[in-house]
Structure formats: structure tokens, C-alpha cells
Structure 1
Amino acid sequence: MHTLRERKKQRTRDALLRAAVELFTSQGYDRTTVDEIADAVDVSQRTFFRYFAGKDEAALGLVEMTVARFVEAVRARPPQEAPLEALRRAVVDGWYSVNEVVESVVPVELYLRMYRVIEETPVLLAAHLRRSAEAEEDLARVIAEREGLDVDADPRPRLAVAVFSGVMRAAERQWSTGEDVGPEGIRLLTARCLDGLGPALLGDWREPGTGRGVRGPAQA
């Protein structure tokens, strides 16, 4: 049970995060200052820095929250699930649980707009990719623990997470540039991308009768 002081601190942090996202999506990351974010919540700049190290940390705050919830969801998957299945299920089955984390601060639509700001802002994209690499390492260790493996001796946990993360990155790029930004549309798109992993890696991409990839005598 959180104390009154802890709940008050959480409300202040959420308010700062919400104000930051609203300003970043309405006027741009570069044109928004820490003072503007603090003023929007009627607190001092000093108070802002109690909760965030800088603008970039506030800009990535929602993403950090969703990643933390996702790692928890993977850890909670049934132990009999294969690693990639556990990762897939944590995304698809836990989609609305992750949305609840976002909606505790801002509407999902605003979060999606913020994601586009991250994609379009080099300094934020670089920070996002760096933190994604750290999250992948956390996930690899969770998978290794589930499978009873030493993550530093067996490469499979990191390989599985790297493949999964690549698919998720492709899905994110697709929905961040598409017109359907509704949560259900994004969930279905993400599920389709994950379900296409096996065929993409193991299937034959060449359709019979198209002539693509047909080898002549000199190529045989």
C-alpha cells in the first residue's frame, strides 16, 4: 500500500509526464523547454529535475513504462511456453494491460503521437535505441532464467530476443507511419508481424509460376 506521500509524488510525476507529452506533440521536442513543462504543472524547474534527468527522459517516460510492464508480462508467462511463444503472448495477450499503463497518464492516441515524435527526432531516436538495447538484455536474462540457462554461456536467449525485437521494430515502423493508429489495429498488425516470423525465416518466398528465382543451367 502506497503512502500518501508516495501517491502525491506519483501524481506530480504523472502530471509532468503528461504536460511534457502534450507539449512535445503540439509544438515539437526541440521547441519545448523544461521551464514550459514545469509551468504547465505549476511547479518549479527544480521540481522537474527531481523526477526527470532531462527533457529526453520525460520524452521516453511512457515508453519506459510500457517496456517495464512487458518485461513483467514475459516473466509471468507459463513456464512450458517456448521462448518466442512467451514473448509473442506477452505482447498480444497483454496488449490491453500495457495500454492501461499508458492511459493512467495520457490517452493512447497521444502516446502514439509521441512515438512518432521519437521516431522523427534524432536525439530521441538514438536514446530510444540505446534503451531498447538495455531492455533486450533484461529480456534475454528473463528468458535464460525461465529456461535454466546461463545467458553468458548460451547465446540462444539473446538470439531469440534479438529476432523478436527486430520483428517488433518492423511492426513499430509500419504502424507509426500508417493511418490506423487505433490500439486494436496496432495489436492486430503486431500479431501479424509476429506470426509472419516463421514463414519469413523458413518459408519459400518465391511463388510458383512467377519465374522468380528459377535457376537456369548455368546457375544450377
Structure 2
Amino acid sequence: MDGMSVPTDQGGLRARKKQRTRAALIDAGLDLFLANGYEATNVDEIAAAVEVSSRTFFRYFASKEDIALAKGAEFDELLLDALTSRPAEEPPLTALRHAMLGMLREAAADSGVQRFLSTQHLINKTPALLAGNLRRAAGTEERLTTEIARRQGVDPDQDMRPRVLVAAVCGALRIGLEATCADPSRELGRMVELVEQAIDLATAGIPQRWGDDPRRW
């Protein structure tokens, strides 16, 4: 048994080392972007900050854009996991709202959320990043739509309600984060309040439970 455990341990060590290297590249890249600007920072500088080669950098990321969008992508994965974990009997708006706000509250308790907000502000004011961020957001909305449709037992190609609900809530998230980023203090508790307020405004006309007619709520 002892001999069999060695490969597993080595595999676990390799996985942890890869995760540490990936996290270090993200942190170094964001530090450089925020200090010197996105356009002025190159891949060689990010790799050098972590004392790895540029070749090693490209084993983890296709471009420096992926570094800038990494925190948002991580949040997206956690949000999707949170939604799929909500009780099956929950109405769609309730499930999505709780998943979104629950993830934000967890993020607000994490020391890295200030970095996330600073990065979002950087993305918002950097044209070169906006297109990639929109692609990322569109892909996430599509996956959330698929999950809401599955929970409701409807075809999202025939029933627009899942897509409209997800667009409203994700749009509210963006507005709430933009409002938070616009405030230099970027208070974390205020972030959750602003996003919650924006979601409530955006979904005020959406009932908890939907009817059978896909043309109306």
C-alpha cells in the first residue's frame, strides 16, 4: 500500500505546484497592470516577476488578456456551481438571486476582492480588454441560461424567459460593480448592497414562479 501511495502524493504535489504557479502569474500580472498599465506590460515582464520563463507562462495562459480576465472567470465558475447547488424546488429568480448574492458575500469576505474590483475598473477603462470581457460574460450568461432552463424544464431556444432573466440579473451585477468601482473607497459591504439593489430593480416585474405560457411571465 505504501508503494502505491507515492505516485498519488507526487501527483498531488505537482497539481499544487501548478496551482501556485498559476496564482502567482495572475497576481504578478495584475500588480504590473495596475502599476504600469495594461498596454505597457508584456508577458516577459509577468514571467520574470515570478521567475519563470515566457515558455512556462504560455503553458498556463494563451495571452496576457487571460491574466486580466482570470479573476472574473473564477467568479463565473463559482457562480455556476452555486446556482446548480440551489434546491431544485426554488423558483428561478430566487435561485439565481441567492446564488449571485451568496457568491458576492463570500467574495466580500475574501482579502482578494479589492484586487478583483481594481481589476474590473482596469477592464472598464481599457478598450483592449473590453471585447474579451464581453465574450467571457456572454459565455457565462449562456451557461447560466442553460441551467435555468434545465431547472424549469423548458427549451431556451423556444422559451426566452431563462435568457431574459439571466440577462437582467447579470446586467444588474455589472451595474452594481461599476457603481462600486466608481467610488474610490470601494467598500466591500457597499458592493453587496449596490448589486442587490440593482438586481431588485432589474427584476421587479418578474414573478417568483412562471406560468405555462412562454410569451409572458
TM-score grouping bracket, smaller chain normalisation: 0.7 to 0.9
Q: For 1:9 and 1:36, locate their aligned partners in 2 and report how far apart those are by CA, in whole Å.
A: 19
For residues 132-168 of structure 1, what are the alpha-carbon distances to aligned partners after superposition, in whole Å with 9 as ceiling and x for unaligned?
A: 1111000000111111222222221111111212222
2:28 aligned partner, one-letter code: A
Residues 1:194 and 2:203 are matched in the alignment? no
What's the CA shift string for 1:155-187, capped at 9, x where partnerless?
211111112122222212211212341221101
Gaps of 5+ in 1: 203-220
Pair 1:132 & 2:132 matched: no
Larger Rg: 1
Partner residue, 1:14: 23
Q: Which amino acid aligns with 1:28?
A: G
Which residue of the partner structure matches residue 82 of structure 2? 73
Partner SS, residue 151 of structure 1: coil
Residue 43 of structure 1 and its aligned partner are, at CA, apart by 0.2
Could you list the per-position Cα deviations for residues 51-79 of structure 1 after superposition, in whole angstroms to 9, with x for gaps in the alignment? 00001011101110011101111111112
Question: Is the contact made by 2:65 and 2:129 (CA closer than 8 Å) also made in structure 1?
Answer: yes
**Match of 1:108?**
113
Aligned to 1:181: 186
Match for residue 96 of structure 2 among 87, 92, 114: 87
Q: Is the 8 A contact 2:79 2:99 kept in 1?
A: yes
Q: Helix, strand or coil for the counterpart of 1:53?
A: coil
Map of 1:43 onto structure 2: 52
**1:157-172 equivalence runs, <5 A:** 157-172=162-177
**How big is each residue's C-alpha offset from its partner over 1:105-147, in whole Å with a ceiling of 9 and x where there is no partner?**
xx22122111111001011011101111111000000111111
Farther off after superposition, 143-152 or 121-130: 143-152
Q: What is the percentage of aligned positions where both structures have the same residue?
A: 40
1:143 aligned residue:
148
CA contact (8 A) 1:70 1:98 kept: no
How far apart, CA to CA, are the structure 2 residues paired with 1:65 and 1:31? Answer: 25
Gaps of 5+ in 2: 1-7, 207-217
Would you say the 8 A contact 2:121–2:181 is kept in 1?
yes
Runs of 4+ with deviation above 4 angstroms: none
Q: Residue 121 of structure 2 contacts residue 178 of structure 2 at CA under 8 Å; is this kept in 1?
A: no
In structure 1, give the amino acid aligned to 2:27.
R
Tell me the SS of whatever aligns to 1:130: helix
Task: State the match for 1:218 in structure 2.
Answer: none
| C-alpha displacement of 1:198 | 4.3
Mapped partners of 1:65, 1:128: distance in 2: 13
TM-score of the pair, normalised by structure 1: 0.83
**What is the count of residue pairs matched by the alignment?**
197
